[in-house]
Copies of this chain bind each other. A is one copy, B any other.
Amino acid sequence: MPYSFINDYSEGCHHEVLKALIKTNYEQSEGYGLDRYSLEAAEMLKKEMKRDDVMIHFLCGGTQANLVVIGHTLRPYEAIIACDTGHINTHESGSIEMTGHKIIPVLNDDGKLNVAKIEAALAKNPDEHTVKAGMVYLSNSTETGSVYNKAELTAISAFCKEKGLLLFVDGARIGNAMMSEGNDLWLEDYARLCDAFYIGGTKNGALFGEAVVLCNPCLFNDFRHSLKQHGAMLAKGRVAAIQFWALFKDGIYYANAKRANELAQMIAEALNECRIEMAMASKTNQIFPILPQELVDHLAEKYDLGIWEKIDERFSVYRIVTSWATEEEKVHSLIKDIKEFYGV
């Protein structure tokens, strides 16, 4: 069977996560996220962001996290500004609209928002015949592997505050953003700059789970009602929490993301040596090379690569993804095979 570089959720979980689940398995605990593991994991994350005034809940997945936070927060007629390439706009099957809210899509070429784009989106929605923008959504790292830096997020945050917009960061791959070269945005920055964000577990070593961090106290009230109402409150809430506890207690979360980034960048470098262009620049664990069909065919028996977008008969953009679980030797082997193909 070919080795998969399709995504970062092909395997189960990091062995320390598994160990923690095994160790706590027969203990009795309270249900619905009121157990001591949920409290301890929340405390651990709060320390990580040097804050004790945020509220943390452990959810099952990214789409769920997005729809619960947005649905909980917005008034019925409010909309959310996002990149047209944003995950909520393209890959969540209309879940935000299901909660009643329009996404105001912003055209972009690097997967990122900025103040000018948000301002233009506001200008197009001025009165009661249009929607009222209530929130700005962005992902870091983005759906196309790009990364916001501190200056960029600070500018967006300041503009949002000025305009009365809430800022929500989808952190399904926040680890990869933090571990990307040159990063200057850490959990404490997110906690300061955002009204809400989440720390993705599913793509960075957990079986499942996203840690939603509410930073703006206006969102605290009744959040557990929203969780329950959306079917997002696990009876055994501890199962999500314990995983975060295991990932953060010794920095595994960061190590996992670092490793994933490095492996992808190694492949990127090799592709570069073979003069293969990237469709989108990325410093994270997803890279988007423009590959000729004959190379893909050549690799197909040994490796699964995901097509991102067909360009023409000969070329397509592919997405190659690495993770905490990617086997290093498979990366080396892939690199070797590519280089051989090009005689480099």
Q: Which residue numbers of A lie inside 8 Å of B, CB to CB?
A: 1, 3-4, 6-7, 9-13, 15, 18, 21-22, 24-32, 60-68, 71-72, 75-77, 79, 90-95, 97-103, 105, 128-132, 202-203, 207-208, 222, 224-236, 238-239, 325
Contacts and interface: CB of A to CB of B under 8 A. Distances in A.
24 contacts: A7-B31, A10-B28, A10-B30, A11-B29, A12-B24, A18-B22, A21-B207, A22-B22, A26-B325, A32-B128, A62-B235, A63-B233, A67-B231, A71-B76, A77-B94, A93-B225, A94-B101, A94-B229, A95-B228, A95-B231, A98-B230, A128-B227, A207-B239, A231-B232
A208 B228 contact: no
Given A91-B130, A207-B239, A232 B11 contact: no
A98 B75 CA distance: 11
Among A65, A75, A97, chain B packs the most CB atoms within 10 A around the CB of: A97
Given A11-B26, A231-B230, A233-B63, A97 B101 contact: yes
A28 B4 contact: yes
A6 to B, nearest CB: 8
Contacts of A95: 228-231
A278 to B, nearest CB: 22
Nearest to A131: B94
Nearest to A8: B235
A83 to B, nearest CB: 14
A171 to B, nearest CB: 15
Contacts of A103: 102
A65 to B, nearest CB: 8
A233 B208 CA distance: 11
Nearest to A207: B239
Given A132-B225, A203-B235, A231-B232, 17 more contacts: A15-B25, A18-B25, A66-B231, A71-B76, A77-B228, A79-B94, A92-B129, A92-B228, A92-B229, A92-B231, A93-B229, A94-B131, A97-B100, A98-B230, A102-B103, A128-B225, A208-B239
- 6 closest Cβ pairs, A-B complex: A64-B231, A12-B25, A77-B225, A93-B228, A128-B224, A94-B131
A15 B25 CA distance: 9
A231 B63 contact: yes
Contact of A98 (B15, B28, B76): B76
A122 to B, nearest CB: 14
B93 A232 contact: no
Contacts of A18: 21-22, 25
A234 to B, nearest CB: 6
A222 B75 CA distance: 10
Nearest to A22: B18
B63 A72 contact: no
